[in-house]
Amino acid sequence: NYEKRDSVLTSKQQIDRLLRPGSSYFNLNPFEVLQIDPEATDDELKKRFRALSILVHPDKNQDDPDRSQKAFEAVDKAYKLLLDPEQKKRALDVIEAGKEYVEHNVKEKKKQLKKDGKCQDVEEDDPEMFKQAVYKQTMKLFAELEIKRKEREAKDMHERKRAREEEIEAAEKAKRDREWQKNFEESRDGRVDSWRTFQAKGKKSKEKKNRSFLKPPKVKMEQRE
């Protein structure tokens, strides 16, 4: 029984428990954080949350504000998670899966012992040892799920980043294409104007040349002696 086991823990001991090495994985199990049985009623859950949150609250631990704040946040997060029916069911499913795994493991052990003609007693026959085995397997499952969640999150983030980069690249390419088109049209207009000016000048020059060619030559009068 969690409450009986830890009813003597002080504020400091509870903070130490909630922030112990590996707590980022231990605290994935909300029932472990609140030290309450998974079969506990909503009233028992509320009562346990109040008692534990008062113990680790920063106001009660002013000599250790940073650590007590982190401990309080862990307790608050676990409580809110268990208030959500869907999240609570997910946590209960993990615990049930841990229990089923251990039961299957015990059955396989006994089967092998029977096959070998040995005594079929295993350490998990002791209720406390069985409970410990379930606890360890449950923590392992919570950790594996969290690792997979982080991997999915990282993958999603990478894909969002890549999509954003492609979007920016496409926008920049479209901008470059528009600028190229604009510059091309401006330079084309400039080339057309230059050609027309060149043609107009050539035409005038040709007309002038033709006029001078058709002009009758000057007759030089000979002086009579």
Whole-structure pTM value: 0.63
Q: Which sign, positive or negative, has the C-alpha torsion 47, 53, 56, 60? A: negative
Q: Which sign, positive or negative, has the C-alpha torsion 159, 161, 164, 168? A: negative
Q: What is the mean pLDDT of the chain?
A: 85
Q: HSE of 189 in the Cβ direction (CA atoms, 13 Å)?
A: 5
Please, which pLDDT band fits residue 149 given cuts at 50, 70 and 90?
confident
Which residue did the predictor score with more confidence, 187 or 98?
98
pLDDT of residue 220: 58
Q: Cα–chain-centroid distance for residue 80?
A: 22
Neighbours of 61 (CB within 10 A): 20
Task: With CA atoms as reference, report the closest residue to 101 among 124, 123, 79.
Answer: 124
Query: Which letter, b or e, does each residue of 6-20 get, where b requires 16 or more Cβ atoms within 10 Å of its Cβ?
Result: eeeeebeebbebbbe
Percent of the chain with pLDDT over 70: 86
The per-residue pLDDT for range 100-138, each reduced to its tens digit, is: 999 999 999 999 988 888 888 889 999 999 999 998 999
